[in-house]
Structure 1
Amino acid sequence: MFPPTAGPCTPKPEASFLMTAIRNKRQIIHRRALMAEIERQVAETRRPVDGLRREILALLKDHLARGRAEIRRRFDEGADGAHVVRENCYLVDQIVRTLFELAYIHVYPVANPTSADRLCLVAIGGYGRGELAPHSDVDLLFLMPYKQTPRGEQVAEYILYLLWDLGLKVGHAVRSVDDCIARARADMTIRTSLLESRQLCGEMVLYEDLRRRFAADIMVGTASEFIDAKLGERDERHRRMGDSRYVLEPNVKEGKGGLRDLHTLFWIAKYTYRVQNLSDLVEQKVFTAGEYRRFAKAQNFLWTVRCHLHFLAGRPEDRLTFDVQTEIGRLMGYADRPGARGVERFMKHYYLVAKDVGDLTRILCAALESANQRQPKIRLPSILMRREIDGFRIEGGRLTLANRHELAEQPIRMLRLFRVAQSREMDVHPQILRWITQNLKYIDDDVRADPAANQVFLDILTSPKDPEATLRHMNEAGVFGRFVPDFGRVVAQTQHDMYHVYTVDEHTIRAIGILSGIEKGAFGEDLPLATRIVHDVLSRRVLYMAVLLHDIAKGRGGDHSVLGEEVARKLCPRVGLTPEETETVAWLVRWHLLMSAVAFKRDIEDPKTVLDFADQVQSIERLRLLTVLTVADIRAVGPNVWNGWKGTLIRELYYRAAERLSGGHVEGLNRAGRIAAVQDRLRERLADWAEPAFRAHVERMPGSYWLAHDAEVLERHARLVARADRQGPAPLVIDVAPDQFRSVAAITVYAPDHHGLFAGVAGAMALAGGNIVDARIVTTTDGMALDTFWVQDADRSAYDDAVRVARMRDLVGRTLSGELRPAKALAERRDGPKRTDVFQVTPRVLIDNRASNTQTVIEVTARDRSGLLFAITRVLSDLALTISSAHVATYGERAVDTFYVKDVFGLKITHQGKLARIREDLLAALDAAGPVIESDGSLRSSLINGARDDEESARGDAGGAHGEAAE
């Protein structure tokens, strides 16, 4: 029978809070029962403990597996993450204590131990904090009084090797107290790990000595140093993780607003206020009880998400990737509701929790600043100490108030504070931001109806002084959503796809900032048209309100443009807009997707496209407003979404519509004049060409070609065509021009035009591993095809690797010569599963015979995949259709491709049997299951009204540019 061992393995008092949170601990692991089984093994085998390593390991594995299964069972039955991390910690504690007892007392006993033989086992890091996710590391400190002894080394090795054999990932250190103190003084990471240490087993006197010396030698007088270091680490981590709470696949542990930010709060609080638990901050009046509850809820939510991630992956996994978001949302009870999918509700809650973490950080920083504020050595008369601006005090160069009661008595001051800060370009004191958070309830219907309050809000929105920053601060403080409840409904609103980078509130605020930048001329080079016409609009208030409200009704179910129009009609009069201004804002919100839909999905060379668009817009003023709104909206979608190509399409549609609306009189050059100007610039670049050669080249190209490319591309094409002409009567030239700024390679194919050329090139590029994100078709007057494809690698970077480009050239040449059949080669190739496969896109085929007077428009929506464009164009080729114009685009996981086609006689396809065949064959190629099929309809019905169910089809994407391929 083993002797009693209570002393070395009794948990220290501070750790008892971990135990009280666990119910039925012995169902997880019964340490006495485990030790009894080991005793039976000793008795039955009549071998000492050190000879039973294999048997002990088997027993430990069994108890560990049963404990983990019990914890998982409880979690599956509804326990939250807080229980899992504590129960898991308890399970590992008992395993470690058992091993320590075996090693320290039974395997390597000492009859008369000296002071040098003392040993203490300490949990550090997250394990020391009492939090252990299912697959997290176990960090241990073997603490010795002076230096490592042979016995201490043997005990440590025995414990560590068995823990490793159990499959646990263990980080460890063997140090003396002096060594710990010296390292903590020099290394902030070690200092932090010791800060949240917890004694597990062994000599308590050693651990108490470490704690005493750590507090006296390290913590005293170094709080500011520690705070600065931890906040600096946090900022660097945020930058590394994208510096946004709203990334598409957030890191639950390391991301902004994640668990590590809560850990940082805990470290700072423990170091500064010497608390063991964050709940102690309520007694010290650092947090209110409500704020502590927010902390606990945020922490528990993030713990629960992280535990789901670990359980689903079967390994340490902290990134909330697309493929698990839906499943975790379902497991956490987020069901689909009208207007919001369960996964979107789950991610909205996640982002709101991340926002709460930011609020708590600001609150703690305010308390720290207040606690460390020094009184002046010489007390001056109060009249000289007081400085005020517009009724607000200035403290440390920041705006504040004398007391929180002023906000409850005059809630409008919460708005005025931000207007003063904006106009004076000053910061707001974190303490008053905390007071605002605590007094938001006083912004009620009476305040919302107050004309003075609404004027303050409108002043902030339309101010020339950085409205984006001010509105973001108001949003962080909760004032924005409280004063405009419709905006509050879209705070943290998400869409579960690969296209929407930001939440709706963040996107809206960014769009307002971009509009402000356009007014200031900050985007003159990238957005020349918007920069010029923004100063011609008659009402700035209309434009800013339209940008504010364009996505205000997302997440409500139904068409957000239609619902947003209703919101605009109610809100605009409230903030002081005239009936005429209200009507214009409502129209802009209703049709804010129209211009991008027409420019990116229709052939603006077709006169009917421009005619229908102009008939819907009706006035030059609306056209200006819609253009600027469209540009700001697209630019705010996400990084690298806007590019010069989109700008070209928007500008061309603007000019053509303006000509129509003004009867041909519009500021700037008309179409013929713009084409002539482009040709003049090209002539300057081709100064080495003879005039007859230049004129012959100009006459070979259709008018649409000249406005679709910039001068550099036009020059490259001209020299490519001249080089090809010297090769003979049937040349094949392939030109590759990488564009690193847009992360694409422009691959131009110049060859004799023939039926199926487009499909053949698309198939060859798919075989070469190229992802076609857009294409343009040009047919010269002498029967040559000048087709340009914008291509990326599988990782969305420019397709410019020399070896791969050479292979692509070979595949295109072999395909066009008939030597290679892409269909067969692609059918034999199988792509492996990807995490983005979770996104489902219902295939849709829309055939529109009213969008053009001369051609049939076919719009295909499907999930983007390798070879998709080839599959579509091959069907069109097999059906003897000629593609006159193609608009090929990707939107995250969604591809929306539009083709203007004619039959073999150069006419529209009108026969119902032929139309049905087109639909059936396209859907078969897309592997449709339960497709949504739409047939003939006018441009207004098929494009404008129908675009709302697929909003991303009307904007653009970071991965692929919208574009037109004109004949």
Structure 2
Amino acid sequence: MGQPGGDGDPRPHRRAGRRRPLGGDSATPVTDVETRAERTAAADTLCVAAFEKVEAPVTGVALVAVGGYGRGELAPCSDLDVVLVHDDDVRLGGWAGELWYPIWDSGTRLDHAVRALPQMTAAAGTDLKVALGLLDTRHLAGDPNLTLRLRTTMLTQWRRDARRRLPELREMVRARHEQVGELAHLSVPDLKEAAGGLRDATILRALVASWLVDVPHPQLRAGHRSLLDVRDRLHALAGRATDRIAPEHWPGLAHSLGLEEAATQQHVREVGRRLTHLSRLTWRRVEAVQGRRTPVGVRRPELTSIAPGVALSAGEVVLDRGADPAADPLLLLRAAAEAAERDVVLAPPTAARLVRECAPIPEPWPRAARQLLVRLLAAGPGLLAVWETLDETGALPRLLPEWERIRLLPHASEIHRFTVDRHVVETCIEASALIRDVARPDVLMVAALLHDIGKGGPHEHCAAGEPIARDVAARIGLGREEVETVATLVRWHLLLAETATTRDPDDPATLDHLVRRIPDVTTARLLLALTEADARATAPKAWSSWRAGLVTDLARRLIARLDEDEGTGPPALGTALPATAPASPEFVVESGGDDCRVTVVAADRVGLLADVAAVLTLQRLPVRTVRAWTEGDVAASVWSLDGDVPDVAVLRQRYDALTAARLGVPARARPVAPRDLEPRVALRPDASREATVLEVRAADRTGVLQLTLETLADLDIWVRSAHADTLGPQAVDVFYLQESGAGALSDTRAAAAAHAVRDALSPPAPAHRG
């Protein structure tokens, strides 16, 4: 308890010096639950004997164990945490101070307190640590009814006040994790205080005791027991109470476990990671419960469909009604991407079922599977928890068999704060914030996933990773050029950082060195983004302002040397159009494999593309790419779609109703992703002499293209041609704009158009709270 007490007791509450291990000599191996039970029983015998020697009242006084002793988790060098509790009307005599002498004389370290029952209740109500410690109260001696009242009172109080007190507990846990770090990644693991350590296991039990949430008990029990076993061995080796595994302890721990030293470290990290995952999952569920009030009479959580076969229930992504994993090989990726983008829990039972039942993804992967993978990787902070769930449920070997090479692999360099696999996930999270800076965000995210895949072998990891990355990129269906770009990025992902800090940027030979390895501007910009993401994921000092300045300056010089050629006009888009426009728009639908295209030919006018986009939005048809062009008074557009193949008659009907103003269209619905980056809207004055070129990069969400086109139509701006692509989570749209019946926009009109589109696509400002 750590509180003063003891009725005139002159001795300190905690005896200093080397303590005698409980239940035997410190060299005795401590290996299992039975030994801990024997150690606890020996301590109980000692405490009971001490209590029986004093003249304590028969009723109204009890000696109880709390904390780790109350849970029966004594390690060889643990202290005994005990409280002498009494009713308020019981007067304690000198015997209360004499109680502790036999325990001290045995050489056992003792942490004790004397408290009246009302004092304990009050302390638990104001001090969260006291409340947690008293949840594990266990009777040792004296009045068992008093102990029962204490336990009942503490549990009742905890459950009654849980909703109010859990936010404070959450902040305590978060602060401890930030200060200590994660057990799975620390170079000197702290078995107790680190994230995924014994303290978290205890708090998970307290959360279960609140009755607000539950945890997978077999996993919690197994992980908790494993850490206790390791701590027992650590105490036996060190001959003192310690929770930190210093480098010199690993060989002895390995010997006591009968494992190699590397396998021992991996075992500890594995357990720490599993408990960290359980802790994060449980706290997510606590937050969901805190923000949700179940209506009276509702027994089952509501299912909200969010994607084909996928639903949201009680803040977790689960399977929708009627989902058939065996018939949908992309269901696992779709569920993971939705959970990560929404930053919610991917329900572990759902992931485990999908691992068992989903058919393998065809190789090479179809475009839809690749898009889902990139969306998952680019989801930002929501990726971490979902990736951990995929790891814990065995899904990652199905998606990326090569992941096992780096799983729980420690870094050789001490500057790294995480193991290799976690560093890779952190690199993806950092790269997700940079996708607006590159032309191919999909390639960036795949390269971020694979940049360290060559580690763990005898060869230099950049060179070893290149062929692996090439194979993976080809397997997930990237084109030949993209595969080579990914391989190049993996091979040279350290090039900019190493060159910037070791060579003179003003020496022509420095740029020659880079140009021989980096073939074009697109790759150079991707490499700069990957370099920044990799450094930020390593450690704060790895991307200091000084290092960032050196790398960025060198990258700019490289880009200038490569002399980017953007072209001077739109590429050829299709076959020649008819000489005269049809009397009414013509819709043609073609489908094959995972590709569906809608071609529209109509008389050209301002707002035509916006109307077609609105029709597709109403049909809930995600647009993958668009190519639009004009010849004379005839306009054509080809829309590549995801989702079901639309009915031509329905499209025509919707279009006619829209243009006749008989159909309400959510034209101004602002499409906001759960985690939108700010859109990038830029004018490219050198891209065309005949038109104003507007480039838009924004989160890929239904309605983005429609909103952009309608904004331009409202300004009476004619879209001469359009080139829209979806690359992972990002829409990259380029529009060639002209005044109706005239040429390029004036500078003023162009700036107004860019500003209006940026404003239309920007996430709404947070609401003010008065």
Instruction: Give TM class, smaller chain.
Output: 0.5 to 0.7
Deviations, residues 429-476 of structure 1 (Å, cap 9, x unaligned): 56x34422454334564467652662343441575xx44533652344
Equivalent residue number for residue 199 of structure 1: 139
Q: Indicate which of 46, 52, 60 corresponds to 1:95.
A: 46
Distance 1:349 1:181 in 2: 40
Distance 1:129 1:176 in 2: 22
Q: Indicate which of 295, 298, 309 corresponds to 1:376.
A: 295
State the shift of 1:129 in Å: 0.7
Q: Does 1:74 align with 2:25?
A: no
Distance 1:467 1:158 in 2: 60
Distance 2:321 2:276 in 1: 23
Distance 2:232 2:120 in 1: 32
Q: Does 1:498 align with 2:440?
A: no
Label 1:408 to 1:134 Cα distance change in 2 as closer, same or farther (>3 A).
farther
State the shift of 1:638 in Å: 0.8
Distance 2:289 2:382 in 1: 28
Q: Is the 8 A contact 2:234 2:242 kept in 1?
A: yes
TM-score normalised by structure 2 residue count:
0.62
Distance 1:240 1:220 in 2: 29
Equivalent residue number for residue 730 of structure 1: none
Equivalent residue number for residue 631 of structure 1: 532
Q: Indicate which of 263, 268, 285 corresponds to 1:350.
A: 268
Q: Is the 8 A contact 1:596 1:630 kept in 2?
A: yes
Q: Is the 8 A contact 1:398 1:427 kept in 2?
A: no
Q: Indicate which of 644, 652, 656 corresponds to 2:545.
A: 644
Deviations, residues 524-548 of structure 1 (Å, cap 9, x unaligned): xxxxxxxxxx44x5x4333332222
- In structure 2, give the amino acid aligned to 1:120: A
Q: Is the 8 A contact 2:374 2:442 kept in 1?
A: no
TM-score normalised by structure 1 residue count:
0.50
Query: Any residues of structure 2 matched to 1:323-722 within 5 Å, and which?
Result: 323-325=248-250, 328-329=253-254, 331-335=256-260, 342-343=261-262, 345-361=263-279, 376-377=295-296, 387-391=304-308, 392-395=310-313, 399-402=317-320, 406-407=324-325, 410=328, 412-421=330-339, 426-428=342-344, 432-437=347-352, 439-442=354-357, 445-446=360-361, 450-451=365-366, 454-460=369-375, 466-470=379-383, 472-478=385-391, 479-480=395-396, 482-520=398-436, 534-535=437-438, 537=439, 539-604=440-505, 607-651=508-552, 653-654=554-555
Q: Does 1:293 align with 2:218?
A: yes
Distance 1:64 1:242 in 2: 31
Distance 2:269 2:408 in 1: 6
Equivalent residue number for residue 174 of structure 2: 235
State the shift of 1:196 in Å: 1.0
**DSSP 3-state at the match of 2:551:** helix
Q: Indicate which of 230, 235, 244 corresponds to 1:319.
A: 244
**DSSP 3-state at the match of 1:122:** strand
Label 1:407 to 1:506 Cα distance change in 2 as closer, same or farther (>3 A).
same
Q: Indicate which of 116, 138, 142 corresponds to 2:84.
A: 142
Equivalent residue number for residue 126 of structure 1: 68
Deviations, residues 289-334 of structure 1 (Å, cap 9, x unaligned): xx44322331122113323443444333223344545654555444
Q: Is the 8 A contact 2:191 2:197 kept in 1?
A: yes
Q: Is the 8 A contact 1:460 1:470 kept in 2?
A: no
Q: Is the 8 A contact 2:381 2:429 kept in 1?
A: yes
Q: Is the 8 A contact 2:488 2:518 kept in 1?
A: no
State the shift of 1:125 in Å: 1.2
State the shift of 1:628 in Å: 3.3
Label 1:444 to 1:97 Cα distance change in 2 as closer, same or farther (>3 A).
farther
State the shift of 1:252 in Å: 1.4
Label 1:447 to 1:366 Cα distance change in 2 as closer, same or farther (>3 A).
farther
State the shift of 1:551 in Å: 0.2
Distance 1:608 1:379 in 2: 72
Distance 2:390 2:400 in 1: 13
Give the number of the structure whose alpha-carbon radius of gyration is greater: 1
Label 1:491 to 1:200 Cα distance change in 2 as closer, same or farther (>3 A).
same
Distance 2:97 2:166 in 1: 36
Label 1:235 to 1:643 Cα distance change in 2 as closer, same or farther (>3 A).
closer
State the shift of 1:655 in Å: 5.5
Label 1:72 to 1:546 Cα distance change in 2 as closer, same or farther (>3 A).
same
State the shift of 1:494 in Å: 1.3
Distance 1:84 1:161 in 2: 26
Label 1:149 to 1:300 Cα distance change in 2 as closer, same or farther (>3 A).
same
State the shift of 1:128 in Å: 0.6
Instruction: Give identity over the alignment, percent.
Output: 28
Label 1:186 to 1:600 Cα distance change in 2 as closer, same or farther (>3 A).
closer
Q: Is the 8 A contact 1:493 1:504 kept in 2?
A: yes
Equivalent residue number for residue 878 of structure 1: none
Distance 1:614 1:608 in 2: 10
Q: Does 1:86 align with 2:42?
A: no
State the shift of 1:263 in Å: 0.5
Question: Which structure 1 residue ranges, 5 or more long, are not aligned?
Answer: 1-60, 274-280, 336-341, 521-533, 668-967
Label 1:194 to 1:660 Cα distance change in 2 as closer, same or farther (>3 A).
closer
Distance 2:383 2:79 in 1: 42
State the shift of 1:609 in Å: 4.8
Distance 1:410 1:388 in 2: 16
State the shift of 1:554 in Å: 1.6
Question: Which structure 2 residue ranges, 5 or more long, are not aligned?
Answer: 1-16, 567-770
Distance 1:150 1:141 in 2: 14
Q: Is the 8 A contact 1:481 1:491 kept in 2?
A: no
Label 1:359 to 1:149 Cα distance change in 2 as closer, same or farther (>3 A).
same
Distance 2:434 2:158 in 1: 51
- In structure 2, give the amino acid aligned to 1:180: M
Deviations, residues 644-664 of structure 1 (Å, cap 9, x unaligned): 3323433454466567666xx
Aligned residues: 545
- In structure 2, give the amino acid aligned to 1:295: L
State the shift of 1:512 in Å: 2.5
- In structure 1, give the amino acid aligned to 2:23: G
Label 1:557 to 1:375 Cα distance change in 2 as closer, same or farther (>3 A).
same
Q: Is the 8 A contact 1:257 1:357 kept in 2?
A: yes
Label 1:444 to 1:72 Cα distance change in 2 as closer, same or farther (>3 A).
farther
Label 1:647 to 1:209 Cα distance change in 2 as closer, same or farther (>3 A).
closer
Distance 2:317 2:111 in 1: 47
Distance 1:93 1:386 in 2: 51
Label 1:74 to 1:213 Cα distance change in 2 as closer, same or farther (>3 A).
same
Distance 1:366 1:405 in 2: 25
Query: Any residues of structure 2 matched to 1:22-171 within 5 Å, and which?
Result: 67-69=23-25, 72-75=27-30, 79-80=31-32, 82-83=33-34, 85-101=36-52, 103-104=53-54, 108=55, 119-151=61-93, 153-154=94-95, 156-171=96-111
Larger mean CA deviation between 126-135 and 443-452 belongs to 443-452
- In structure 2, give the amino acid aligned to 1:591: W
**DSSP 3-state at the match of 2:81:** strand
State the shift of 1:508 in Å: 1.8
